[in-house]
Amino acid sequence: MRTNISGPLIATIGSIALFGAFAWIMWQLGFFTFTGSDPSSKVVAAALGLAGALIGSLVTLVGLVLKYSIDERNAAIQEQTVAIQQQTEARSRSEAERTAQLAADAERRLKTEAAIQAVGLLSSSSGQDVSNTQRAGVILALADLEIFSLALSLTSQFLEQSGNKLDPGAACWVFHRALERGRLDVQEQAVAMTLRYLPGMLNKDGTSVFPRILTSKESSKLPDDVRFAGLLAVIDRNLLRPYHEWTDETPVTACHALHYVLKNDPVPYFREIAGKALHTFLMPLDGSFLIGLDAAEELPKVRLEVATYANSSVAGNVSGTKITRQKAFEAWAKDLSLQRASG
């Protein structure tokens, strides 16, 4: 940007010329001629004083003009510097965006190639089915690469086949990863599949497998509809077996998860469902479900809290069965009462 100081410079030159003309006129009129008399000395002194004042004013004016020109030049330099910086930043952003786009394109190509290769591993060169372990390896790799649509589709296909040609633990890990890292549509698909295949996650030894995120505090980060389906999955898994048939801490984990929902979930209906389930699971017992709580002090508080939900209802059937959740709650409570009586 060019600095324009022609106006102040012309004004300064004009002022100097005017001062020179004024001084010349005063000289011609004899204001600077000293005759030795007292009046003459006073006139000369006054003229010199006036000339000195004018010279001081001119010096000040010249200084202001110089300062103005320097400030204008510095401002122009600063403006040019800012413009250069902005251009540099714009180029850097453009290059960064281009690099990111190239990286994203490369990642998509690699994922596509990996998906093609993974699908190729699902059948042998002779066209025969591969082992369950190899199937599990394929869908785990796809989920790890976050190719969730294909991973979930294959998981569903394998679980639907007769003989369950996929390890339930592998399926649960895929559901967990999809819920943890997937988009909303992926999360909805994963939690729906969790509910659908919940009975297949029970092991014959009284244990089960389950997507870990649905029983942890991380579940609070899930969208409302996904969190609601996950809450039902936690309840239904517990209801799929009577209390006395569980050999691991599944009931304990369920109660911890439900208690967290009851205390922290922002949706009142979700808290009501959790309270109803906890009322069923805790009322007939001595507090053994609430590990880490002082049963003598904390359990009465929790029981009093969940008692307000005793008459609430949870609609629908238990996943994979034709038994309503209300009937399942009643059967669970009866089994708990029998176990406590026999204990």
Distance (Å, whole) CA 41 – CA 32: 9
Q: How far is CA 175 from CA 61, 138, 212, in A?
A: 81, 14, 9
CA atoms within 13 A on the CB side of 62: 10
Contact between residue 303 and residue 283 where contact means Cβ atoms under 8 Å apart:
yes
pLDDT at 272: 94
Residue 220 has pLDDT above 90, yes or no: yes
* Range picked from 130-134, 135-139, 241-245 for highest mean pLDDT: 241-245
Q: How far is CA 128 from CA 117, 120, 121, in A?
A: 17, 12, 11
Contact between residue 318 and residue 328 where contact means Cβ atoms under 8 Å apart:
yes
Closest by CA position to 175, among listed 134, 113, 226: 226
Residue 295 has pLDDT above 60, yes or no: no
In this prediction, what percent of the chain has a pLDDT beyond 70? 69
Helix (H) or strand (E) run with residue 57 in it: helix 38-120
Mean pLDDT along residues 47-64: 69
Among 48-57, 181-190, 208-217, 283-292, the least confident range: 283-292
Q: How far is CA 222 from CA 227, 230, 238, in A?
A: 6, 9, 21
DSSP state of 215: G
User: What does residue 274 show for φ and ψ, rounded to 5 degrees?
Assistant: -60, -40
* Extended beta strands in 220-294, E state: none
Question: What is the pTM for the complete model shown?
Answer: 0.67
Residue 264 has pLDDT above 90, yes or no: yes
What's the chain's average pLDDT? Answer: 80
Ranges of each domain in the chain: 6-105, 197-343
pLDDT at 267: 96
Residue 319 has pLDDT above 60, yes or no: yes
Higher-confidence position of 94 and 113? 94
Handedness of CA 267, 271, 272, 277 (dihedral sign): positive
Mean pLDDT along residues 18-42: 63
Q: How far is CA 2 from the centre of its chain?
A: 48
Q: How far is CA 59 from CA 47, 54, 122, in A?
A: 18, 9, 93
